[in-house]
Amino acid sequence: MNPFTPPFAIFTALAVILALAFCLPCSLAGETDMPPPAMMIAQADAAGDTDDEDYENEYGDADEGLSDPLYHWNYAWHVFNDRVYLWLLEPTAKGYSAVMPEQTRGCVRNFFDNAMMPVRFANCLLQAKGRAAVDELTAFAVNTTVGIVGFRNAAEDMLLYEPQSEDLGQTFGTWGAGHGIYLVWPVIGPSSLRDTFGIVGDSFVSPINRLSTNWNIGLRTYDVVNDTTFRIGEYERVKQAAIDPYSSLRDIYVQYRDRQVAE
């Protein structure tokens, strides 16, 4: 599928408009009581430092950070994803990493990272990050040639650039769109209305989506399994530290994405 053929172009445009229509009002409404974290700290410090200091300003109202009207739907998928991860994905990744040396897995990760350049490049442009866009192009050129179709991250070895994650969800964020509502998707995991539109939008630029469905699903699965080998045990540690894993993960998602947007 080509994103530039008329029906898809229209769909992309619609998705963007819808996303903004949904998310912008929320972000505007939220702005009054949810300033960015840096401002919150400054405000709290300005508010005085007595013993009964109110920390509400510094951390904001945690539950207002992201509304969760679809809690039951989200919670069901949260439980589903937990099982899929612990019973299927991680055991598979462990088995795979036992037979595949770390270096090879690193090469596979580099390959996928390099192949996804169009997504990052497009979003650098949409966020008017000229320098980062040029870096992406340079790195892609170097990695595809010197790095043998991206298996080696030659550009990073040569300290040409520091790769940063960019996606359409972040782009909407830099344009001022809030998350809208929290959404948990099967397998994909925590997301939000804004970031869901982002994922859909990015998929039109993703080269992997140009492949046939079988190849598409196969490669994506392989990418996810390969990536998981580098993060074995992380999810368990988050769960171990949590008193309420569902709201912990939701908060981690929001804070993590907010930082990515701010960068």
243 counts as binding other proteins under rule CB under 8 A? yes
| Cβ atoms < 10 Å from Cβ of 85 | 17
| Cβ atoms < 10 Å from Cβ of 58 | 16
Closer Cβ to other proteins, 5 or 241, answer by number: 241
36 counts as binding other proteins under rule CB under 8 A? no
49 counts as binding other proteins under rule CB under 8 A? yes
Total chain residues near other proteins (CB under 8 A): 36
Q: Which of these ranges, 1-9, 131-139, 217-225, 240-248, lies near other proteins under the rule CB under 8 A?
A: 240-248
The closest alpha carbon to 186, from 81, 79, 68, 73, belongs to 81
237 counts as binding other proteins under rule CB under 8 A? yes
Closer Cβ to other proteins, 65 or 201, answer by number: 65
Question: What 3-state DSSP class applies to 42?
Answer: helix
Half-sphere exposure of 47 (CA within 13 A, CB side): 14
Sequence-distant (≥ 6) Cβ neighbours of residue 85 within 8 angstroms: 235
Give the residue carrying structure tokens 């699903």. 217
73 counts as binding other proteins under rule CB under 8 A? no
List contacts with other proteins (CB under 8 A).
37, 41-42, 45-46, 49, 52, 55-56, 58-59, 62-63, 65, 102, 106, 109, 230-231, 233, 237, 240-244, 247-248, 250-252, 255-256, 258-260
